[in-house]
Amino acid sequence: MKTPSALSPQPSASLLMEKLVSLCKRRGFIFQSSEIYGGLNGVWDYGPMGVELKRNLKEFWWRRNVKERDDVVGMDGSILMNRAVWQASGHESTFSDPMVDCKTCKGRFRADQLDAIACPMKPSKKIATCDGEKTEPRDFNLMFSTHVGPMADESNKTYLRPETAQAIFVQFKNVLETSRQKLPFGIAQIGKAFRNEINPRNFIFRSREFEQMEIEYFCRAKDGLSLLDYWLEERLKFYEDIGIPRDKIHVKDIPDGERAFYSLKTYDLEYEFPFGIQELEGVAYRTDYDLTQHINHSGKPLDYFDEETKEKFIPHVIEPSAGADRTVLALLCEAFSEEEVTDQQGKKETRTVLRFHPRMAPVKVGIFPLLKNKPALVEKAQALARSLRPHMTIFYDEAGAIGRRYRRQDEIGTPFCVTVDFETLGDPDPALAETVTLRERDSMEQRRIPISELKDYLSDRVF
Ligand code: ATP
């Protein structure tokens, strides 16, 4: 058995990101989109491990915010919507970032991030201090436009949605009437959003195609501020429950002048990424701005009728809006660890481990026969794999030395490994028949457990 002897010195921020990006590619978490054609800037694909990780995140978010609550219902809106939605919401006229052009290198940069972006001609300098000749900032709209139907003209122009929220606002009445909810209640949605970011960077942190997990929680105006604080707490608990400790999340109360003009109060939840403390989620009190805009533009009544007081009014809304990809990146950063271990022969090596919370881990359990050339062991291990597969994601592996197999699972963050060995077959000790070796990722401790207890033992820990 190997024992951890010391944590290796943690790599610098840029080296850590390099190692993480390389691990993500090597082990099938995240690939560059269209890689064989040179990629597409700001767009990423999730591989077999990445898709499981992201699904675990999204499913836990859905479970926590929709299934376990009786005051939140879900919906799944379309990515393409009538252009009028984006005119009413203000996105067509104002969803832009300030951009400067550099006449020297011909690059285009987000004007409010010049001190964070390296000069393409002199990477040791940031754009803010390089010698390039820059233009004054001008607004650049972040929406991708497209046309619906065979004619590419203004009459059928629309946009890929830059946020999921607007579908919720425009379907407010339909959802209210069909779900028979009463205020306060929420509508939740997970889906893709698209922004033509001027400078996509930091791996999947800022990309041009990403996924959001949003709730619009409708309420009476008098309850807005207290519900905002309630949702802030809920969201902080959520991050703890997926393995991101509270002290790594910084809550920023966005000051007047920096918030959207319609927001009475907004908190940003920021995470300590290796490249700096950056936004993971916004929890915003958006007042009745969005519903009012859609009432005014569509002419349709999107108000609420209170049966008890016989009052009609436009609800206010609290919006916790999180990025699934940014949270995946936070999970990866939080989990990544390298440590020095010493094997039984006293040889030192580096163990790379993704210490995911078991609930987030892409693979929950690795199942191995001790030796692949012993049919009795292989059959038993395969039967065990078959019996667990309907209940959780497992990985069956019979290739290579057992230590190497453990190490491969450590690298993708598998919290448990199970080895079927001779004792499982009752050799030499019949009392150990039908037991397996259970190895725990973080402590690397091994112990025997009866096969009959395995499913419950694992289920209690991985969901
Ligand atoms: P930023 O200031 O970082 O551009 P934002 O304040 O514009 O973000 P919101 O419009 O509040 O972001 O979107 C809600 C969430 O969606 C963000 O907290 C983030 O997690 C995610 N998100 C927004 N833009 C991107 C992007 N380009 N790539 C990945 N995730 C994003």
Same domain, 66 and 182: yes
CA angle 55, 56, 60 (to 5 degrees): 115
Tell which residue, 60, 306, 286, has the closest CA to residue 168.
286
Residues 6+ apart with CB under 8 A from 2: 341, 342, 343, 344, 351, 403, 444
281-298 b/e (C-beta count within 10 Å ≥ 16 → b): bbbbbbbbbbbbbbbeee
Phi/psi zone of residue 346: left (φ > 0), alpha (ψ -120 to 50 degrees), beta?
Answer: left
Return phi, psi of residue 86, to 5°. Answer: -80, -20
**What are the pLDDT digits (tens) for 345-367?**
888 999 999 999 999 999 999 99
Residue carrying the six token digits 């008890």: 308
Examine the domain organization and report whether 126 and 236 are in the same domain. no
Range of the domain at 135: 96-141
Neighbours of 80 (CB within 10 A): 12
Is residue 358 included in any domain, yes or no?
no
Q: What percent of the chain has pLDDT over 90?
A: 94
Are 117 and 251 in the same domain? Answer: no
pLDDT digits (tens, 9 = 90+) for 30-70: 999 999 999 999 999 999 999 999 999 999 999 999 999 99
Q: What is the CATH number of the domain that holds 258?
A: 3.30.930.10
Q: Are residues 262 and 390 in the same domain?
A: no
Q: What is the pLDDT of residues 84-100, one digit of tens each?
A: 999 999 999 999 999 99
Mean per-residue pLDDT, 216-228? 98
Does any domain span residue 351?
no
Is 90 exceeded by the pLDDT of residue 8?
A: no
4 band by pLDDT with thresholds 50, 70 and 90 = very low
Task: Answer whether 348's CB lies under 8 Å from 339's CB.
Answer: no
Ligand 1, CB within 6 Å, residue ranges: 163, 195, 197, 206-207, 210, 212, 279-282, 321-323, 325-326
**116 and 22, same structural domain?**
no
Beta-bridge partners for 141: 96
Task: State whether 322 and 439 are in the same domain.
Answer: no
Domain end residue (candidates: 289, 315, 331): 331
How many H helices and E strands in the chain? 12, 24
CB within 8 A of 23, min separation 6: which ones? 29, 336, 352, 354, 411
The per-residue pLDDT for range 265-302, each reduced to its tens digit, is: 999 999 999 999 999 999 999 999 999 999 999 999 99
Same domain? 174 vs 268: yes
Q: Whose CA is nearest to atom 28 of ligand 1?
A: 206
146 strand-pairing partners: 158
- Using most ligand atoms within 8 A of CB, pick from 279, 283, 318, 325 the residue to mutate for ligand 1: 279
Of all atoms in ligand 1, which is nearest to the CA of residue 211? Answer: 30
423 occurs within a structural domain = yes
Do 134 and 150 lie in a common domain? no
**Assigned domain for 342 exists:** no
Same domain, 250 and 392: no
Prior bond of 415 cis (ω within 30°): no
Same domain? 166 vs 280: yes
Say how far apart CA 3 and CA 444 lie, in whole Å.
Answer: 7
pLDDT surpasses 80 at 3? no
**C-alpha angle 27-32-34 in degrees, rounded to nearest 5:** 125
Please tell me the distance between residue 380's alpha carbon and the centre of ligand 1 in angstroms. 48
Measured in degrees and rounded to the nearest 5, phi and psi for residue 18 equal -60, -45
Ligand 1, atom 21, lies closest to the CA of 323
- For the chain, what is the domain count? 3
Q: Which residue has the tokens 């990809």?
A: 325
**Residue 424, helix vs strand vs coil:** helix
Q: Stretch 93-117: mean pLDDT, rounded?
A: 93
Report the pLDDT value the prediction gives residue 7, as an integer from 0 to 100: 53
Q: Is the same domain home to 302 and 378?
A: no
H/E run at residue 16: helix 13-26
pLDDT, tens only, 142-167: 999 999 999 899 999 999 999 999 99
In a domain, 325, yes or no: yes
- Residue ranges with strand state E in 274-315: 276-287, 304-306, 311-313
Give φ, ψ of 72 to 5 degrees.
-135, 130
In a domain, residue 118? The reply is: yes
CB 431, CB 425: distance < 8 Å: no
Q: From the CA of 282, how far away is ligand 1's center (Å)? A: 8
**CATH number of the structural domain spanning residue 399:** 3.40.50.800
Per-residue pLDDT, averaged over 405-427, amounts to: 97
- pLDDT level of residue 412 (50, 70, 90 thresholds): very high
pLDDT at 10 over 80: no
Other C-beta atoms closer than 10 Å to the C-beta of 179 total: 14
Return the pLDDT at 99. 95
pLDDT at 5 over 60: no
Domain membership of residue 22 (yes or no) is yes
What is the number of other CB atoms lying within 10 angstroms of the CB of residue 134? 18
Q: Where among 79, 109, 141 does a domain terminate?
A: 141
> Given a cut of 90, is residue 2 above it in pLDDT?
no
Q: Using pLDDT thresholds of 50, 70 and 90, give the confidence band for residue 343.
A: confident
Q: Do 171 and 294 reside in the same domain of the chain?
A: yes
**How far, in Å, from the CA of 229 to the mean position of ligand 1?**
21
Residue 265 lies in a domain: yes
The preferred substitution site among 212, 319, 329 for testing ligand 1, maximizing ligand atoms within 8 Å of CB, is 212
